[in-house]
Structure 1
Amino acid sequence: MTQMKAVGFHQHLPITEENSLIDLELPRPEATGHDVLVEVKAVSVNPVDTKVRAHGQDETEPKVIGYDAAGIVVEVGNDVGRFDVGDEVYYAGAINRPGSNSTFQLVDERIVAKKPERLTFAEAAALPLTTLTAYEALTDRLHISFDAKSNLDKTILIIGASGGVGSIATQLANKAGLTVIGTASRSETIDWAKAHGAHHTINHHEDFRPQLEALGYSYVDYIFCLNATDQHFEAMVDVIAPQGSICSIVETDKLLDLSALQQKSANFVWEFMFTRSLFQTPDMMRQHDILTQVAAWLDAEELETTVTKTLTDINAANLKEAHRLVESGKTIGKVVVAEA
């Protein structure tokens, strides 16, 4: 059986441990059914990568993670109808299947799209997971349309505007015609947020209300929470508009007082990008459609990639460094690891 290189682990360890990520040789998979086999050219690291690596029971078989990739289709299953060998693609994969930190990866064609033509593999690999998260949150969870005229008097507060999801969420919300208020606390993150679609910024380490009122807003119509849901919950309840909507992507082990939203008839909803692939929902194709639409916007230069750092060669040493950077909590945009 043909072998391939991969990076994985047997134990869930802190990134400082030698065996937290290791170089491996594993069997190269074969494409069947609706799967395409992709030769991976670049991957990016998200907070979910670090969480899955650090927490869990020891693995009997090597576990390979990675939830963002761009590469070239080298094999297609019998039922594949959307891709051909040689197509350049990008995708976020599935959380319950072997990941992208390998030379080759099997992915269901329904969650794959052709790579934006004007982007390199590294630039494209920075985008799928965060883009799908932001796009699904805005449209499927908060029910915001991209009809900019209908949103001209609407505001959205994006908590954590300079991180991976925030960097694309600010762009998409701006494109939807919303007034975008991002949270950022350092001069470099403020500058990044404003350069990527935020009209205003406030500091998430300070009370929201006086800062919003100083900008002329008593309430915001939507909130997209990308950081510390439990820490910001009371502030979100305070500044969400009556009949407004809050969406979060950050899990919490503390109970949230949803009754606090009752008087405002306000909504609270979760976004988890892997829901469609994990449960094989009938609308899995939506992720293909979203990435295809976003690729068109990227090629039209209406959106920009969010990569800020690229490490060359996909191996354990570089992925460890990428995990360390993401875990620092200071990362702006996205960290990518790409083949030379």
Structure 2
Amino acid sequence: MRAVVMEAFGNVDVLKLSDLPKPEPGEYDLLVEVRASSMNPVDFKIRQGMLGEDWPLPFVLGFDVSGVVRSVGKSVKDFKEGDDIYALPSLGRNGAHAEFMLLDSRLAAKKPSSLSHAEAAALPLVTLTAWEALVSRAHIEAGQTVLIHAGAGGVGHIGVQIAKNKGCRVITTAGRDESLNFCRELGADVVIDYKKENVVERVKQETSGQGCPVIFDTVGGTVFEQCFECLAINGQLVTIVPEDCPTICQGLFMKNATLHYEFVGAAALYQANMEGQKCILEEAAKLVDAGKLKPHVSATLPLDQVPDGHRMQESGRTIGKTVITF
């Protein structure tokens, strides 16, 4: 089978189109014929060694999959050959930038019937990340004002839709006209151009000086540091970017606020409540088929152009998702 293999840690030159043997499913595995995958920042972060160098080499990246089940392990009960599925694969196993892959069945859900495989492949990682952050951790409620940074990004554009579906008032940020307009089309109530406006002042203006009870940081760095000033008393801040900032933690303490770190890969890596992610994807599929949740695919690339997909992710200018099709 064809696969894009990471042969070492480094720049995109370490990615090679190779021929690998088709894998055999283990006890709980699905052998999936991959119809589409998509790009996420975690792909280039692993490749660059930003998350450590514990991955076995050579390694296949790609942590979104939509495809067709071709065979199942002996203990698999929920799926059969021919089922269309979508999932976030484990970050610890070979991923979906290959014609076939092994997927733990406990992570998989039936693909939304209204979506193509290319569209469905844009959903799993970003949907699970946004859902776990906003619903499972922050417990957003109707009527709350929620600040979601980078609303035009992969995670952000799904987060905006989830929050709106929960009845929240959504404030988001963007820095280009195209991104600003896209956020408005998603239904964001307030879209702040962070290049032209003072985000903290605008948030305070929009919340009568109280700040937001929930903030979702998808950017990190100075944006994470800025979140404290935008947060309400007793607020909740969720970030997907690991940061070490003692000053901010002291500030959160003084506001009686809660800080959550969201790492969507933890469930599969540690085999901890993997079925929980399956359930989220099942709920997301219902929203998709009801017309209440929609992934945005900004570009599609063939398998041999995965290195270009890495470059696009590293640019930080992608709106929605870049999908790899087979």
Quickly name the TM-score band, shorter chain normalised.
over 0.9
Q: Aligned AA for 1:34? A: Y
Q: Which one is further off, 58-67 or 257-266?
A: 58-67
- Alpha-carbon shift at residue 234 of structure 1 (Å): 3.5
Q: Which residue number corresponds to residue 326 of structure 1?
A: 313
Distance of 1:60 and 1:120 partners within structure 2: 32
Q: Which residue number corresponds to residue 225 of structure 1?
A: 217
User: Is the Cα contact below 8 Å between 1:10 and 1:60 reproduced in 2?
Assistant: no
Distance of 2:278 and 2:55 partners within structure 1: 31
Is 1:189 matched with 2:179?
A: yes
Q: Which residue number corresponds to residue 126 of structure 2?
A: 130
Q: Aligned AA for 1:114? A: K
Is 1:279 matched with 2:270?
A: yes
Q: Aligned AA for 2:41? A: P
Q: Which residue number corresponds to residue 89 of structure 1?
A: 85
User: Could you state the TM-score of these two structures normalised by the residue count of structure 2?
Assistant: 0.94
Q: Which residue number corresponds to residue 201 of structure 2?
A: 210
Q: Which residue number corresponds to residue 14 of structure 1?
A: 11
Pick aligned residue for 2:94 from 70, 83, 98 = 98
What count of residue pairs does the alignment treat as equivalent? 322
- Alpha-carbon shift at residue 60 of structure 1 (Å): 7.1
Distance of 1:87 and 1:23 partners within structure 2: 28
Pick aligned residue for 2:238 from 247, 269, 274 = 247
Is 1:236 matched with 2:222?
A: no
- Alpha-carbon shift at residue 265 of structure 1 (Å): 0.5
Q: Aligned AA for 2:292? A: E
Distance of 1:142 and 1:60 partners within structure 2: 35
Is 1:52 matched with 2:46?
A: yes
User: Is the Cα contact below 8 Å between 2:83 and 2:110 reproduced in 1?
Assistant: yes
User: Is the Cα contact below 8 Å between 2:60 and 2:96 reproduced in 1?
Assistant: yes
User: Is the Cα contact below 8 Å between 1:11 and 1:59 reproduced in 2?
Assistant: no
Distance of 1:108 and 1:224 partners within structure 2: 29
Q: Which residue number corresponds to residue 32 of structure 2?
A: 38
Q: Which residue number corresponds to residue 159 of structure 1?
A: 149
Distance of 1:132 and 1:7 partners within structure 2: 25
Distance of 1:57 and 1:274 partners within structure 2: 16
Q: Which residue number corresponds to residue 191 of structure 2?
A: 201
Gaps of 5+ in 2: none
User: Could you state the TM-score of these two structures normalised by the residue count of structure 1?
Assistant: 0.91
User: Is the Cα contact below 8 Å between 2:91 and 2:265 reproduced in 1?
Assistant: yes
After superposition, the CA RMSD in angstroms is 1.7
User: Is the Cα contact below 8 Å between 1:207 and 1:235 reproduced in 2?
Assistant: no
Distance of 2:322 and 2:231 partners within structure 1: 32
Distance of 1:81 and 1:43 partners within structure 2: 25
Q: Aligned AA for 2:47? A: R
SS at match of 1:66: coil
Distance of 1:177 and 1:299 partners within structure 2: 19
Distance of 2:11 and 2:313 partners within structure 1: 13
Distance 1:216 1:261, change over 3 A: closer
Gaps of 5+ in 1: 145-149
Q: Which residue number corresponds to residue 303 of structure 2?
A: 314
Post-superposition CA distance 1:235-265 (Å, at most 9, x none): 2111211101000001236555311111210
